């Protein structure tokens, strides 16, 4: 399972967001991406998940050409293979915490697995909080719900946008262990966008995104 990004370029009108982004991420590999605010890190992660379009280049995952999929096929691919921790969490407000975390399993048509959901909530330090509504949680707690949701179906491609941005150092370290565990033990490919030096220091490779491309 290799994520392969080749010569990717994206523009808004005349203005390029990024160009010439070439990057391979192997199964079991953890790549961290840093870069200034507004340089296109979230946009690049969205492209990796087929959640945004691009103007040049290709994104393939395990041989699947993501840009060639239509909307529905892309949604099905994403459902099966991708875990995404969004910068703004996108925890659904009308579902409780346990329902949010079990969403990927539900979409995959898997049997309700309360044990697995409870295990994930324990793992992110939210034991017993499954029945709470998102509006009753702190920012860091919401972020951890988003992380549990991204991991619950053991995705092969794990894309995390500032997943420790709202967490204290101890909780952040715990969450990093979880993301890295999915990578090392289950052979996921982890791409993590971060401003955290300690999170980036754990990566196999640290890459800098600039308007001109991506480099070590
Ligand atoms: N729909 C849009 N139309 C025009 N420009 C956009 C649009 N969406 C995003 N941009 C611009 O694209 C650039 C990249 O945004 P992106 O969110 O990817 O940056 P980022 O590197 O994730 O920043 P941050 O570190 O602040 O999260 C920004 O300059 C943003 O203003
Ligand atoms: Mg961003």
Instruction: Give Cα 53 to chain centroid, integer Å.
Output: 17
Going by pLDDT thresholds of 50, 70 and 90, the confidence category of residue 73 is very high
- Establish whether residue 37 lines the binding site of ligand 1, counting it when its CB lies within 6 angstroms of any ligand atom: yes
CA 98, CA 118: separation in Å to the nearest integer?
A: 8
Q: How confident is the model at residue 201 (pLDDT cuts 50, 70, 90)?
A: very high
Q: Which ligand is nearest to the CA of 40?
A: 1
Cβ(200) – ligand 1 distance below 6 Å:
no
What range does the domain containing 130 cover? 28-52+70-209
pLDDT interval class at 119 (50, 70, 90) = very high
* Ligand 1, atom nearest to 195 Cα: 25
16 assigned to some structural domain: no
User: In the predicted model, what is the mean pLDDT of residues 174-190?
Assistant: 96
In sequence order, the 6+-apart residues with CB closer than 8 A to the CB of 121 are 97, 98, 101, 127, 128, 129, 130, 148
Q: State if residue 107 touches ligand 1 by the CB under 6 angstroms criterion.
A: no
Parallel, antiparallel or unpaired: strands 157-161 and 82-85: parallel
Q: Compute the 3-state secondary structure of the chain and give helix, strand, coil in percent, each to the nearest 5.
A: 40, 25, 35
Look at residue 1 in the predicted model and tell me its pLDDT. 77
Domain assignment present for 173: yes
The confidence score (pLDDT) of residue 112 equals 84
Per the confidence metrics, is the pTM higher than 0.85? Answer: yes
Q: Residue 185: give its domain's CATH number.
A: 3.40.50.300
Residue-wise pLDDT tens digits, 136-176: 999 999 999 999 999 999 999 999 999 999 999 999 999 99
Let me know if residue 9 belongs to a domain.
Answer: no
Any domain includes 19: no
Average pLDDT for the chain? 96
Q: Residue 180: which of 144, 204, 162 has the closest Cα?
A: 204
Number of domains the chain is built from: 1
pLDDT digits (tens, 9 = 90+) for 1-11: 799 999 999 99
- pLDDT tens track for 22-72: 999 999 999 999 999 999 999 999 999 999 999 999 999 999 999 999 999
4 domain-assigned: no
21, part of any domain? no
């Amino acid at each position: 399972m290799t994520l392969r990004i080749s010569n990717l370029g994206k523009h808004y009108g005349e203005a390029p967001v990024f160009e010439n982004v070439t990057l391979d991420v192997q199964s079991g590999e953890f790549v961290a991406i840093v870069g200034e605010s507004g340089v296109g890190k979230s946009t690049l992660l969205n492209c990796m998940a087929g959640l945004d379009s691009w103007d040049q280049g290709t994104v393939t995952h395990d041989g699947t050409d993501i840009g060639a999929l239509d909307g529905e096929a892309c949604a099905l691919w994403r459902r099966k293979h991708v875990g995404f921790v969004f910068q703004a969490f996108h925890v659904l407000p009308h579902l409780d915490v346990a329902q949010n975390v079990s969403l990927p399993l539900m979409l995959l048509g898997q049997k309700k697995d309360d044990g697995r959901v409870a295990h994930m909530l324990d793992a992110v330090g939210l034991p017993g909080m499954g029945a709470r509504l998102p509006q009753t949680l702190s920012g860091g707690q919401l972020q951890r719900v988003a992380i549990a949701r991204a991991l619950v179906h053991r995705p092969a491609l794990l894309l995390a946008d500032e997943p420790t941005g709202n967490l204290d150092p101890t909780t952040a370290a715990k969450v990093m262990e979880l993301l890295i565990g999915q990578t090392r033990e289950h052979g996921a490919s982890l791409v993590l966008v971060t401003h955290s030096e300690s999170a980036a220091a754990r990566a196999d490779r640290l890459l800098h995104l600039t308007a001109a491309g991506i480099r070590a």
